[in-house]
Chain A
Amino acid sequence: MIPLGILLAILSIFAAGAGATLLLWREAQPMLLGEMFAASWLLGAGVVSLLLAVGGMLCAGWLLIALVGAVCFGLGWIGWRELRGGGRIILGMEAAPPWERWLSLLVLAPIAYIAAVSFRDALAWDGLLIWESKAHQAFLSGGVLPASVFRDATRSWTHPSYPLYLPFTELWVYLCVGDCHQGALKSVLPLFHIAAVALLWSGALRLHVRPGVAAVTAMLMLFIPILNGFDWGLLHGYADLPLAALYLGAVAGVLACQRDPSPGAWRLAAAFAALLPWVKQEGVILWAGLVLQAAWICGRRDWRRTAGFALPGLAVWIGWRLAMLVLEAPQEEVFQPLTWANLQAGLTRLGTVLRFMRYELGLLDHWSLLWFLTPAALLCVALQRRREAPVLAAAIVLPLAFDVIPYLFTRLEPFQMHVATSFKRLALQVALVALLSVALAFGSRREV
C-alpha cells in the first residue's frame, strides 16, 4: 500500500501543479517541456500545502484529504482541457542540430545521480527536526497542525513560526500513505531536485541559450557538491533547494519577459515568486528583490503589471504573518530589534562577516568553481550588451548583499558560528541563478 500511496501523492501534486500552470500560462506561445514539468511539481507542492493549511482551518481527517484530493484532480482535469483546447508543449530543441539534441541527454546525468543517492542518507538536523517534525505532528493530529504547536515554548528550537511549504508537502505524502513513513519522503524529495534541473535547462532554452550549452549547464548542477548531498542538503530534508528552484523559476520568467514580453511567463514567474515567502523566511528577501526587478523592467507607466507581480507574494506573506499573530506564536528571538544602536554595534561585525562570506564562496569542496565563474559570466553578459545583464546581476548580488544584514543583528553567540552554519545555505538559494548566468554568458549569441 505504501508505494500506491506515494504514487497517489506524486500524481495529485503533479495534477494540481499542471492545472495551475496551464491556467496561468494561457497564451499562444508553447510551453517548454522542462518548465512544464518543473512548474507542475513546484507549483503543485505550493497548491497542496496552501490547501492543507487553509482547508485545515475548516476540516480535518478524511474530509480534509477528500477536499485537497478533489481540488488537485479538479485542477488536473482543467489543465487537461486547456491542453486539448490548443495549449502546446514542446521540447524547445526543434531547430537544433542532431548532435546538440544528443548532447541534451546530459540533462539526465544529475537526475540519475540524485535518484541513485536519494536513499543514501537519512533526514537529519533541520530536515527532520524543523521541517519533517511539523508534518509528523500534523499527521498525528489528523492533518492539522494544532495551535499549541505554535505556542509550545518548550520546543522553540523547532522554529514553530517557519512557513509550511515543505512540511505540508510532506504531510500530504503522509496522508496519502496513511502513516508517518519517513522512507516515503525519500522517494518524493528528489523530485524537487529534478524540477530544479529541468527548470535550469528550460530556463536557459527560454532565454535562447543553445540547447547543448543549456544541457551542459544543467549537468553542472551535478558538480556542485553542496547541491548533491554534501553535508546537509535536500537529501537530508532541507528546504533550501526547493527555495532555490522557485527563485530560479521566477528569475528566469522575469528575464524571459524582459526579452520577449509574454503574459503567461509573467504570471508563472509571479506564481513562483509568490511561493518564496511560503517556503522559508529568507524567501521574503528574494521576493522583495524580484519585485524591485519587476518594477525596473515595467517602469512607472506599467505599475499595474508590477503590482500584479507583487500582490500574490504579498498576500501569502501577510497571510502567514497574520496567522502567526492570531495563533499567538512567540516572536523568534534570534535577532535583535532593528534600532540605530544595534546597527552601530552590528557594523563592527561587518568585516568578519564579509571575510567569512568570501571564504565560503571560495570553498571548492562546496561550490566547485561556481562563484569564480559567476562574476566572469556576469561581465561577459554585460559585454555582450544583453538586456538581461542588470536584472541578472541584481538577482544574484542583491540577495547576497541583503544576507549580510541578519548577521549584524543576530543574537546567537558567537555570531561567527551563525554565519558559518547558515551562510552556505543562503548562497545555495541563489546558486541556480548563478548557473543560469553561466549558461547565458557562454551559450547565446551577441546582441547588438
Chain B
Amino acid sequence: MEEEFQGLLRGDATSGEDFVKLSASQGAACAPPPGEFWSVWDGPSGVGGSAAGRTPLLGMLASIAFAWWEPCRHCHYHVLKPLRLISCQTIWCLAFAAFVAVGTRGIWRPGGGFPLKSCGRQGSVDSILEKTLGRPDLEPALSAEIGRLPSGDALLILAPPGKASAGLVAEVVAYLAWPRPVTLVIEPVHLSAASLLPMRERFAAVVLCEVPAPDSFPAGHAFGPALTLIPLTPQ
C-alpha cells in the first residue's frame, strides 16, 4: 500500500486507478509508515508509546507542557527554573538530533531525477533523452530532423497514457519544436493505414513515443526503440 503511494509520489504510477483503489481503503493507506518515526520515539520509557497511545507527538507535547508547568512558586528560582531549562533543552536537542538522523538518509539517497550528463547548451534536454531513450547526444539530431520539416507546419505527437517517460519525451519533443504548432495526444491510439491520410492533410510529421508504427506507415527516423519521427510531407 505504502509502495503504491510512493509510486504516485514519484510520478511513475501507471494510472490513477490504483489511487482510486487506495482511497477505498484509506484507513490503511493513510496510516503512517511503520517502523520509521515510531521506532525513533517509541522508547521503553513510553514517552511517546503506550502512555500516549500510538501518538508520540502527544507524548512530546506533554513533556513540553510539563516543562512549562508551574506547580510551586517557592521553588521557582532554585529548582523548577533550572530543571525546566535542562528538560526543555534536552528535549529539543534530542529532537534536533533525531531530525538530523532521519534527514541524513534523504541526503545520501540517490535523487529521482535525471543525472546531468553535460553542462552544455541543451544539457538538460540531452540528459532526459539519454535516460529515457538510452542513447546519448540525441538532441542535436532530433532538432535537426524537426528543422528539416516545412517551417510552420504542425507536428503530431502520440504517446500512450500512464507512461510517465513517454509523456515526458513527448513534451520534450514539443519543447524542441517551438514555435511550430504541435498536437500532443496522450491517449490510446490504434494506428492503421487509414489514419495516415487525415494525418498527411494536417501535419508535417508524426512523432511516436513508445507507440509502435504500423508497417503501412512510411519509414521514419528512429531515435532509439521508443521514439520515431515520421515525416508525412516530402522534405
Beta-carbon contact of B175 and A136 below 8 Å = yes
Chain B residue contacts of A157, Cβ below 8 A? 171, 184
As a 0/1 sequence over residues 160 to 194 of chain B, the CB contacts with chain A under 8 angstroms (1 = contact) are 00000000100110110011011110000000000
**Contact flags (1/0) for A326-359 with B, using CB distance below 8 Å?**
0000000000000000000000000110011011
Q: With A355-B30, A417-B16 as known contacts, state yes or no: A128 contacts B105, CB within 8 Å.
A: no
Chain A residues whose C-beta falls within 8 Å of the C-beta of B119 in the assembled complex: 119, 183, 186
Q: Is B50 an interface residue (CB 8 A)?
A: no
With A121-B114, A231-B112, A416-B23 as contacts: A369 and B99 at CB distance below 8 Å: yes
- Asked if B33 contacts A420 (CB within 8 A), the reply is no
A140 to B180, CA, bound (A): 13
How many chain A residues sit at the interface, stated as a range, is 35 or more
Closest Cβ of chain B: how far from A270's Cβ, in Å?
33
| In the complex, A180 has a CB within 8 A of chain B | yes
Out of B9, B124, B178, name the residue touching A122 (CB < 8 Å).
B124
- Residues of chain B within 8 A (CB-CB) of A133 are 175, 178
- B233 on interface, CB distance cutoff 8 Å: no
| Closest B residue by C-beta to A216 | B96
Judged by a CB distance under 8 angstroms, whether A235 is at the interface is: yes
Q: Which residue of A lies closest to B107 (CB)?
A: A228
Q: Which residues of A contact B172 (CB under 8 A)?
A: 128-129
Say yes or no: B113 contacts A223, CB within 8 Å: no
A13 to B33 Cα, complex, angstroms: 44
Contact A231 to B111, CB < 8 A, known contacts A155-B182, A416-B19, A417-B8: yes
Which A residues are CB-close (under 8 A) to B32? 359, 362
For residue A129, which residues in chain B have a CB less than 8 angstroms away from its CB? 171-172, 175
Q: What is the minimal beta-carbon distance from B185 to any residue of chain A, in angstroms? A: 11
Main secondary structure of the interface of B (DSSP, over half): helix
Q: Does A225 lie within 8 Å of B124, measured CB to CB?
A: no
User: Which residues of the partner chain B approach A420 to less than 8 Å between Cβ atoms?
Assistant: 5, 8-9, 19
Give the residues in chain B near A232, CB-CB below 8 Å: 11, 112-113
A365 engages B113 (CB within 8 Å): no
The count of chain B contact residues (Cβ–Cβ below 8 Å) is: 71
Mark interface residues in A210-248 (1 if CB within 8 Å of B CB, else 0): 000000100010111110111110011100000000000
A136 to B88: give the CA distance in the assembly, Å: 52
Residue of A122, A220, A228, A421 touching B116 (CB-CB under 8 A)? A122
Q: Is B68 touching A383 in the complex (CB atoms < 8 A)?
A: yes
Give Cα distance in the complex from A119 to B32, angstroms. 34
Which residue on chain A has the smallest CB distance to residue B22? A416
Separation in Å of the A157 CB from the closest CB of chain B? Answer: 7
Convert B5-43 into 0s and 1s, putting 1 for each residue whose CB lies closer than 8 angstroms to a CB of A. 100111101001101101100100110110011001000
Q: Using known A-B contacts A119-B119, A121-B113, A414-B16, determine if residue A359 contacts B29 with beta carbons closer than 8 Å.
A: yes
Query: How distant is A73 from chain B, measured CB to nearest CB, in Å?
Result: 27
List the A residue with the shortest CB-CB distance to B129: A122
Q: Are B11 and A421 in contact (CB under 8 A)?
A: yes
Please state if B65 and A373 are interface contacts (CB–CB under 8 Å): no
Q: Is B11 within 8 A of A122, CB to CB?
A: no
* Chain A nearest CB, measured from B14 CB (Å): 11
With A183-B123, A413-B16 already in contact, the answer to whether A223 and B106 are too (CB < 8 A) is: yes
Contact digits for A114-139, partner B, Cβ 8 Å, 1 yes 0 no: 00010111111100110011001100
Binding site for A on B (CB under 8 A): 5, 8-11, 13, 16-17, 19-20, 22-23, 26, 29-30, 32-33, 36-37, 40, 56-57, 60-61, 64-65, 68, 88-89, 92, 95-96, 98-100, 102-107, 109, 111-125, 127-128, 154, 168, 171-172, 174-175, 178-179, 181-184
| 9 pairs of A and B residues whose beta carbons are closest in the complex | A225-B106, A223-B103, A183-B119, A368-B103, A121-B113, A414-B16, A122-B127, A122-B124, A123-B124
